[in-house]
């Protein structure tokens, strides 16, 4: 597939501070792509450069084969949903949604029809005549989504649109946005700092860190195969240890298969670790064996997270919640870590 | 705790009496022919009739209204433009605009009026006109209030966000400002404009020093009748206070409405 | 986009024209003219010599300083107690209090002078009442003196100061009071050790507003006293407006002196306030 959006050597400085460092990135048509990263990583700035609300210090932006670097935001044909409170407070939902169409000089009946249809798609038909102050946070963001989509823009940008919404509602809105995006088959760029949200929603995640793209991958690949220490810490809940330390707390034989001496860091997810009270009879040759003490257990609903201390080192282990197999604080346990699930940096 | 609350009540009541007595006494004075003893005698509305039928009063009222329209409109438009440009394009200049806007707050009427007078009075033409001088001075004296009103309401509607949103929907930035931001801060503009009306209505020093006798406002009218007829002037006084109270009431009602709207948001 | 930015400076032009013509140049003009002789147009400091040596102007400065300081002190004290009472009480009475404060906040100048003449002037209602009932304090009240003026000024300081202080009280958290109570501090101790120090910056800045307000008050004094009691603003206006020839130099010098008084007061209150904000004075 051809690239629909292309960032070329994008740099952005705010005074002395380099916020974006030579970003190269392509986005394909019809995809929902996430820019994921901690605050201050430059993800929102990159999005605003695509919208035109911010100018890049250097570099070029292409949309649909055209160089739009110097095109004013109002002429880019891009829709955008902001964090919150971006609805015009003096207009009701219908007027907000109609705003962009009116600006385009479209006939009145046509506007009415398009607005009603879009309000229906986002599920606000009953609130169409209400003002923003009368809507809940979630409803406001639905209206903002309708307002951004009704002009049929080439790209939809979402700048942390769900960050101000409480957890329960956020999950249903994530699914909803994804459904609408697929239904309308629109290209979308979504900015978030929430890795779970990125996992659920995206076709592709671009993990950003310190002004650079750390890794660009499908959600499942990013999860199972992070390519840097940063990716491993930010995605999932990896245990990240210095290899030296890991070797020092290992018990039993050293498994074959992986050469630990050549890497500095080892990372493994908490849910791949086997845990047992007694020493396992015969440990497979490709499994690392550790011995430790339960220092704390944290119920997370369907799974249980144990903090295990192995000497000075803390390791998190996730197990499915099972009433018959609980370990008390202070209990000695053995951990088995399959070598093939470990990632070395 | 209980005792404290009682003390607070007593104190508030004392201050209220202090503040209201001059008003009440003037009101009673204006309604009675004779107040030499403890109890006033001879209820009459004669004083009010003589004020309201005085053509000088009508002229003063008209002048007062007319002289405040131009400065308030002008200052609002000028400050809106300046604050738009400064917040949207040159945030570094905001500091200087703020300083310029707050200077009149400390300089106040006397010095401002004599400095404008001494600069323009000798000349000829448009700028030497008394009405023009007075209009300019009024613009400056209400500047701090208009500036603060507009700036605060711009902050409360999150102007940068609204500008961004409108721009993404096809507006240019200046269009976005007038189409989206201005309608949303209109109530704030009205409140600060009414405060400005109150200030201009209450002005004596600027109009006396700058306009001389070309324009007479209600304050000057009161000063003139004060020297001649104390009953008539007490009626004038009550009428002026009524106008002032009316303005303040509208301001308070609008403000309460604004605050309520914000809380719902 | 980037190139067009400077075009927007044009929208700033009306603002600059207005403020330069009617604020900046006039004020600079006054300062300059204070150094120019009224007789021969030479550059001189003689105007300041006159201001500080002539008895009339010495009296004017003294009176202005005295009335402004006393009325501001009284105003701030009453306002503090009033705002605290409002903070403790709120409710219906609090609402009435707020409304009345807002109502009378524009009550100054000629109308105020008039109301006080009716009330406490030579033939004022209260004075007559005092005579009839034998209350000497009322019967002998002299409004047309610097003490009488101070008393009248306090009136317009109260609503202004209270309205400025009330929002500051919102910064005093009920939790602090509760915490202090649990630590064994009574209400008095709380206000002495926590409340007043926290409020001090607001109190000081309000004080400097009151001072400037009283110092520059013209109409109230003029309506009551004409020129009987020398006061700075009235002397300043007299140099520019009136029957005699305009004395730009002398009037300018008086204006500069008055502005300096305000600046010095702002400087003093800011300095003290900074010490409170750093917490140095709280020990």
Give the DSSP H/E element, type plus range, for residue A8: strand A3-14
Q: To the nearest whole angstrom, how far is the Cα of B186 from the nearest Cα of chain C? A: 20
Q: CB neighbours of A174 closer than 8 A, spacing ≥ 6?
A: A162, A197, A200, A201
What is the model's pLDDT at position C103? 86
Residue B50 lies in a domain: no
- Of the pLDDT bands very low, low, confident and very high (cuts 50, 70, 90), residue B265 is very low
Residues B173 and B112 in one domain: yes
C10 inside 8 A of chain A by CB: no
Residues B19 and B132 in one domain: no
Q: CB neighbours of B166 closer than 8 A, spacing ≥ 6?
A: A88, A99, B175, B176, B179, B180
Other beta carbons within 10 angstroms of residue A140's beta carbon come to 25
Residues B29 and B66 in one domain: no
Q: Which ranges in chain B belong to alpha helices (H)?
A: 2-31, 46-52, 55-88, 94-120, 130-156, 159-168, 173-176, 182-201, 205-206, 218-228, 230-264
Main-chain phi, psi angles of A11, to 5 degrees: -125, 145
Residue B49 lies in a domain: no
- The answer on pLDDT for C178 being more than 90 is no
Q: Which residues of C touch A72 (CB under 8 A)?
A: 1
Q: Which residues of C touch B222 (CB under 8 A)?
A: 110-111, 114
What is the model's pLDDT at position C283? 39
Q: To the nearest whole angstrom, how far is the Cα of B97 from the nearest Cα of chain A? A: 23
Neighbours of chain B (3+ CB pairs under 8 A): A, C
Angstrom distances, CA of residue C244 to CA of A336, B139, C238, C241, C255: 104, 29, 9, 8, 18
Domain ranges of chain A: 3-234, 239-344
Instruction: Work out whether strand A187-192 and strand A155-159 pair parallel, antiparallel, or are unpaired.
Output: parallel
What is the model's pLDDT at position B229? 84
Q: B159, B163, B170, B176: which to substitute to probe chain A, counting the most A Cβ within 10 Å?
A: B170
User: Is A72 within 8 Å of C2 when comparing Cβ atoms?
Assistant: no
Q: Which residues of B touch C207 (CB under 8 A)?
A: none
pLDDT tens digit sequence for C5-50: 778 888 899 999 999 999 999 999 999 999 998 888 888 889 999 9
Q: Which residues of B touch A132 (CB under 8 A)?
A: 265
Sequence length of chain C is 283
Q: To the nearest whole angstrom, how far is the Cα of B260 from the nearest Cα of chain A? A: 11
Report the C-alpha gap between A196 and A204 in whole angstroms. Answer: 13
CA dihedral over A135, A137, A141, A144, signed as positive or negative: positive
State in words which class domain A239-344 has: mainly beta
Domain that holds residue B158: 55-264
Taking chain A (345 residues) in runs of 10, the rounded mean pLDDT of each run is: 86 91 93 93 94 92 92 92 89 94 90 94 92 92 94 94 87 92 94 92 94 93 89 86 85 68 85 86 82 89 88 89 80 88 85
A75 inside 8 A of chain C by CB: no
Q: Which residues of C touch A58 (CB under 8 A)?
A: none
What is the model's pLDDT at position C42? 86
Report the C-alpha gap between A215 and C132 in whole angstroms. Answer: 95
What is the average per-residue pLDDT within B75-96? 91
Q: To the nearest whole angstrom, how far is the Cα of C260 from the nearest Cα of chain B? A: 10
What is the model's pLDDT at position B262? 53
- Please tell me the total count of domains within chain B: 2
- Of the pLDDT bands very low, low, confident and very high (cuts 50, 70, 90), residue C281 is very low
User: Is B82 within 8 Å of C81 when comparing Cβ atoms?
Assistant: no
User: Is B170 within 8 Å of A51 when comparing Cβ atoms?
Assistant: no
Q: To the nearest whole angstrom, how far is the Cα of C2 from the nearest Cα of chain A? A: 8
Report the C-alpha gap between A170 and C211 in whole angstroms. Answer: 55
Domain ranges of chain C: 43-278
State in words which class domain C43-278 has: mainly alpha
Written as six digits, the tokens of A185 are: 């088959």
Q: To the nearest whole angstrom, how far is the Cα of B185 from the nearest Cα of chain C? A: 19
Check if the beta carbon of residue C63 is closer than 8 Å to that of residue C229. Answer: yes
Same fold, A3-234 and A239-344: no
- The answer on pLDDT for C188 being more than 70 is yes
Residues B136 and B159 in one domain: yes
Report the C-alpha gap between B81 and B174 in whole angstroms. Answer: 9
Instruction: Work out whether strand A204-209 and strand B41-43 pair parallel, antiparallel, or are unpaired.
Output: unpaired
C7 inside 8 A of chain A by CB: no
What is the model's pLDDT at position B256? 80
Give the predicted TM-score (pTM) of the model: 0.83
Q: Which residues of B touch C29 (CB under 8 A)?
A: 115, 118-119
pLDDT tens digit sequence for B199-212: 998 899 999 999 87
Cβ pairs bridging A and C (under 8 Å): 5
Q: Which residues of B touch C125 (CB under 8 A)?
A: 25, 29, 35
Q: To the nearest whole angstrom, how far is the Cα of A30 from the nearest Cα of chain C? A: 29
Written as six digits, the tokens of B250 are: 């509208």
Q: To the nearest whole angstrom, how far is the Cα of A244 from the nearest Cα of chain B? A: 50
Nearest to B265 among A53, A89, A147 (CB): A89
User: Is B184 within 8 Å of A151 when comparing Cβ atoms?
Assistant: no
B239 inside 8 A of chain C by CB: no
pLDDT tens digit sequence for C57-70: 999 999 999 999 99
Mark A305-317 as b/e (b = at least 16 C-beta within 10 Å).
bbbbebeebebbb
User: Is A79 within 8 Å of B168 when comparing Cβ atoms?
Assistant: yes
**Which residues on neighbouring strands pair with residue A207, listed in sequence order?**
A36, A215
Query: What is the chain C residue with the closest CA to A72?
Result: C1
Report the C-alpha gap between C243 and C279 in whole angstroms. Answer: 55
Report the C-alpha gap between B140 and B146 in whole angstroms. Answer: 10
pLDDT tens digit sequence for C104-116: 888 888 999 999 9
User: Is B8 within 8 Å of C84 when comparing Cβ atoms?
Assistant: yes
C5 inside 8 A of chain A by CB: no
C3 inside 8 A of chain A by CB: no
Report the C-alpha gap between A340 and A268 in whole angstroms. Answer: 10
User: Is A74 within 8 Å of B161 when comparing Cβ atoms?
Assistant: no
User: Is A72 within 8 Å of C1 when comparing Cβ atoms?
Assistant: yes
The DSSP output letter for C191 is: I
Written as six digits, the tokens of B74 are: 């002008």
Residues B27 and B158 in one domain: no
Nearest to A73 among B158, B168, B183 (CB): B168
Report the C-alpha gap between C281 and C275 in whole angstroms. Answer: 6
ipTM: 0.86
What is the model's pLDDT at position A80? 94
Residues B34 and B121 in one domain: no
User: Is A85 within 8 Å of B172 when comparing Cβ atoms?
Assistant: no
Other beta carbons within 10 angstroms of residue A249's beta carbon come to 18
State in words which class domain A3-234 has: alpha beta
Q: What percent of chain B has pLDDT over 70?
A: 95
The DSSP output letter for C24 is: I
Q: To the nearest whole angstrom, how far is the Cα of A15 from the nearest Cα of chain C? A: 16
Residues B69 and B40 in one domain: no
User: Is C246 within 8 Å of B121 when comparing Cβ atoms?
Assistant: yes
The DSSP output letter for B178 is: I
Residue with tokens 């707020």: C98
Report the C-alpha gap between A340 and A318 in whole angstroms. Answer: 18
What is the model's pLDDT at position C2? 46
What is the model's pLDDT at position C1? 43
CA dihedral over C158, C160, C162, C165, signed as positive or negative: negative
Q: Which residues of C touch A55 (CB under 8 A)?
A: 1-2
What is the model's pLDDT at position A175? 92
A55 inside 8 A of chain C by CB: yes
* CA proximity to C229, closest of C71, C65, C57, C60: C60
- DSSP structure string for C134-171: T-HHHHT--SSSHHHHHHHHHHHHHHHHHHHHHHHHTT
Q: To the nearest whole angstrom, how far is the Cα of C56 from the nearest Cα of chain B? A: 19
What is the average per-residue pLDDT within B42-48? 87
User: Is A134 within 8 Å of B168 when comparing Cβ atoms?
Assistant: no
What is the model's pLDDT at position A209? 93
Report the C-alpha gap between A45 and B221 in whole angstroms. Answer: 62
Q: Which residues of B touch C107 (CB under 8 A)?
A: 23, 241, 244
Question: Which of C258 and C186 is assigned the larger pLDDT?
Answer: C258
User: Is A103 within 8 Å of B170 when comparing Cβ atoms?
Assistant: yes
Nearest to B184 among A88, A103, A151 (CB): A88
């Amino acid at each position: 597939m051809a690239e629909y959006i292309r960032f070329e050597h994008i740099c952005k400085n705010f005074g002395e501070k380099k916020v974006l460092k030579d970003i190269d990135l392509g986005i394909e048509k019809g995809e929902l792509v996430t820019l994921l990263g901690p605050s201050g990583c430059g993800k929102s700035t990159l999005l605003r450069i695509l919208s035109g609300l911010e100018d890049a210090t250097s570099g070029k932006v292409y949309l649909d084969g055209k160089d739009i670097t110097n095109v004013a935001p109002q002429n880019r044909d891009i829709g955008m949903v902001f964090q919150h409170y971006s609805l015009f407070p003096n207009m009701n939902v219908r007027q907000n949604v109609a705003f962009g169409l009116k600006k385009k000089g479209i006939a009145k009946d046509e506007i009415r029809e398009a607005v009603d249809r879009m309000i229906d798609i986002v599920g606000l038909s009953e609130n169409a005549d209400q003002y923003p102050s009368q809507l809940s946070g979630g409803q406001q963001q639905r209206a903002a989504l309708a307002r951004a989509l009704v002009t049929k823009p080439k790209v939809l940008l979402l700048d942390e649109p769900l960050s101000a919404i409480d957890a329960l509602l956020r999950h249903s809105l994530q699914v909803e946005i994804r459904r609408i995006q697929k239904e309308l088959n629109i290209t979308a760029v979504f900015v978030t700092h929430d890795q779970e949200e990125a996992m659920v929603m995206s076709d592709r995640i671009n993990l950003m860190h310190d002004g650079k793209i750390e890794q660009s991958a499908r959600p499942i690949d990013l999860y199972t195969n992070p390519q840097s220490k940063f990716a491993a810490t930010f995605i999932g809940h990896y245990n990240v240890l210095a290899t030296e330390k890991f070797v020092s707390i290992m018990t039993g034989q050293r498994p074959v298969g992986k050469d630990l001496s050549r890497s500095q860091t080892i990372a493994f997810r908490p849910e791949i670790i086997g845990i047992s009270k007694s020493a396992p009879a015969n440990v497979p040759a490709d499994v690392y064996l550790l011995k430790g003490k339960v220092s704390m257990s944290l119920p997370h609903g369907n799974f249980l997270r144990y903090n295990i201390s192995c000497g000075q080192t803390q390791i998190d282990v996730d197990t499915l919640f099972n009433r018959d197999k609980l370990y008390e604080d202070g209990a000695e346990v053995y951990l088995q870590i399959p070598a093939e699930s470990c990632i070395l940096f | 705790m209980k005792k404290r609350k009682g003390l607070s009540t007593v104190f508030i009541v004392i201050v209220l009496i202090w503040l209201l007595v001059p008003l009440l006494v003037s009101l009673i004075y204006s309604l009675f022919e004779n107040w030499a003893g403890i109890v006033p005698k001879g209820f009459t509305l004669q004083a009010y009739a003589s004020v309201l039928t005085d053509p000088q009063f009508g002229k003063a009222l008209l002048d007062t209204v007319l002289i405040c329209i131009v400065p308030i409109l002008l200052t609002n438009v000028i400050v809106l433009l300046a604050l738009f440009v400064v917040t949207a394009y040159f945030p570094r200049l905001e500091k200087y605009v703020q300083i310029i806007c707050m200077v009149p707050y400390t300089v106040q009427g006397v010095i401002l009026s004599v400095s404008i007078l001494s600069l323009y009075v000798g000349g000829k033409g448009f700028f030497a006109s008394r009405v023009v001088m007075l209009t300019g001075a009024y613009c400056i004296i209400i500047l701090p209030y208009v500036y603060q009103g507009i700036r605060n309401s711009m902050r409360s509607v999150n102007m940068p966000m609204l500008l961004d949103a409108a721009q993404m929907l096809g507006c240019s930035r200046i269009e976005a400002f007038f189409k989206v931001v201005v309608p949303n801060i209109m109530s704030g503009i009205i409140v600060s404009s009414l405060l400005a009306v109150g200030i201009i209505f209450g002005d004596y020093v600027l109009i006396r020093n700058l306009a001389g006798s070309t324009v007479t406002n209600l304050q000057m009218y009161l000063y003139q009748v004060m020297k001649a007829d104390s009953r008539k002037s007490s009626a004038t006084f009550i009428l002026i206070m009524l106008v002032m109270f009316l303005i303040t009431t509208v301001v308070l009602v609008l403000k309460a409405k604004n605050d309520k709207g914000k809380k719902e948001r | 986009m980037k190139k067009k930015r400077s075009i927007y400076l044009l929208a700033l032009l009306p603002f600059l024209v207005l403020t330069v013509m009617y604020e900046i140049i006039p004020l600079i003009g006054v300062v300059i003219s204070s150094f120019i002789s009224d007789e021969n147009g030479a550059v001189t400091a003689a105007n300041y010599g006159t201001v500080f040596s002539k008895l009339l102007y010495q009296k004017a400065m003294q009176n202005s300083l005295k009335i402004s300081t006393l009325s501001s002190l009284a105003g701030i004290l009453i306002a503090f107690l009033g705002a605290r009472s409002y903070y403790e009480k709120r409710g219906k009475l609090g609402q009435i209090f707020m409304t009345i404060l807002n109502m009378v906040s524009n009550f100054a100048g000629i109308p105020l002078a008039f109301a006080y003449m009716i009330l406490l002037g030579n033939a004022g209602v209260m004075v007559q009442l005092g005579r009839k009932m034998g209350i000497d304090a009322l019967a002998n009240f002299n409004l047309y003196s610097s003490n009488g003026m101070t008393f009248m000024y306090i009136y317009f300081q109260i609503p202004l100061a209270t309205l400025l202080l009330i929002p500051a009280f919102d910064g005093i958290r009920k939790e602090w009071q509760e915490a202090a109570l649990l630590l064994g501090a009574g209400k008095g101790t709380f206000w002495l050790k926590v409340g007043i120090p926290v409020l001090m910056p607001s109190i000081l800045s309000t004080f400097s507003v009151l001072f400037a307000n009283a110092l520059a008050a013209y109409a109230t004094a003029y309506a009551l006293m004409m020129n009987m009691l020398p006061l700075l603003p009235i002397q300043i206006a007299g140099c520019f407006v009136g029957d005699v020839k305009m004395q730009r130099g002398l009037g300018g010098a008086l204006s500069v002196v008055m502005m300096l008084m305000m600046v010095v007061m702002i400087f003093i209150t800011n300095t003290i306030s900074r010490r409170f904000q750093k917490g140095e004075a709280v020990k």
